[in-house]
Structure 1
Amino acid sequence: MTPSLEQIQWPVRTERLRLRRLTEQDLEATWSYRKLPEVTQWITAGPHDFETYREQFLESGKIDLDVAVELQTPDGQLRLIGTVMVYIKDAWGQREIVEQTKSVEAELGWSFDPQFAGQGYASEAVLKVMEICFEDLGLRRVVAECFAANKPSVKLMERVGMRREASEKANSLHRSGAWMDSYAYALLADEWSAHRG
């Protein structure tokens, strides 16, 4: 069976958070923080208006990649504070054994409401998603990339135990028009097991 987020029994809980699949009803909650300049400057798509955001949010298949991260408020309500993208993809392999490369790794990405920064919620959510990838879905590798100037993402990848595999010079075009450096991070399943052990 091809690994899929559909195989997971949602919602999934951590010590402080509730993770579930993102739905169309999360449109406005995600827009409320993704429109902020400090978030928009780093995410892949940063539309300037709600209608463009709605179109991109509802594009076929995109919503299926994201996990919603919720925090219980003091009054008992659940508030969406971020999302973690999980894109399950093929690894590279030589032609004769390419079938063994199918759906064996996940690319992760994230965006979080800066109002909740500095409290460890992003680390807690990403660690749980990594656990799902390695332990529930049986993936062999998890990867993530970011602009080198995106210090919060760099720190997050390092906090959750990912290893920097690449540093590329001026290879990524930012919406500001500047070519920026980027970093690539990864973790293998056996490294995850050793870290958790």
Structure 2
Amino acid sequence: MGSTFDRLTWPVRTDRLSIRPATATDAPSAWAYRRLGDVARWMTTQHADKEAFTASFVDPGRLARTLMIERDGQVIGDLMLAPEDAWAQTEVAAGAKETQAELGWSMDPAHQGHGYATEAVTALIRICFDGLGLRRVTALCFADNTPSWRLMERVGMRRESHSVRDSLHRTGGWMDGYGYALLAEEWHAR
């Protein structure tokens, strides 16, 4: 996966943001907002302390799929770009190798409400389709995570699935989940 990021020119700039691959030195900046209740509530793992978070963050597999969002040189969030193979029948499986990606994001609450997440995720989708030549992107969330699914819709993704009580939340019990996707041809037709 490291080679995926190596195929692109960094940083990627938008009107107000800069996006670049994460490094181990980004762990303290990410911990500062990922530990906050409003953010940690929706993360797959809620780390007990800074040391546990740092150990997870600096894992080479995680770094290989993490991008940092900066505004005026300050980290304000992060993105996940995880290329994956599409499902395919055995005889054509090679043609489905790393043709799509799962996306994810996390923003510092102090920087929410200014359109930065929309700007960053739009750039992430552009990276996927124009930079990497992927054919499809997907994203998942708990149905109760309204800001996340609204963001997916703002950037043009369509809801493909609504799973009923299929996801166990650490404090909310069994919750519904949403799955969103966008095809390159849909993106380019916009």
TM-score > 0.5 by shorter chain: yes
Contact 1:3–1:103 (CA<8 Å) still a contact in 2?
Answer: no
Q: How does 1:1-197 map to 2 (within 5 A)?
A: 4-72=4-72, 78-176=73-171, 178-195=173-190
User: Distance in 1 between the 2:177 and 2:56 partners?
Assistant: 24
Tell me how far 1:177 sits from its aligned partner: 5.9
Cα distance in 2 for partners of 1:71, 1:177 equals: 33
RMSD between aligned residues: 1.3
- AA of the residue aligned to 1:183: Y
Deviation at 1:57, TM superposition (A): 1.0
Percent of pairs identical after alignment?
47
Unaligned residue ranges in structure 2 (runs of 5+): none
CA distance in 2, matches of 1:68, 1:57: 12
Q: Could you tell me the TM-score, scaled by structure 2's length?
A: 0.97
Runs of 4+ in 1 over 3 A off after TM superposition: none
Q: What is the rounded CA distance, in whole Å, between the counterparts of 2:60 and 2:25 in structure 1? A: 15
Gaps of 5+ in 1: 73-77
1:4 alignment partner, SS class: helix
SS in 2 for 1:135: helix
Tell me if the contact between 2:23 and 2:58 (Cα under 8 Å) persists in the aligned partners. no
Q: Deviations over 1:81-134 (max 9, x none)?
A: 000100000000111111111000010001000101110000000000100100
Q: Return the offset for 1:43.
A: 1.0
Q: Give the stretch that moved more between structures: 173-182 or 62-71.
A: 173-182
Give SS of 2:61's match.
coil
TM-score, normalised via structure 1 length: 0.93
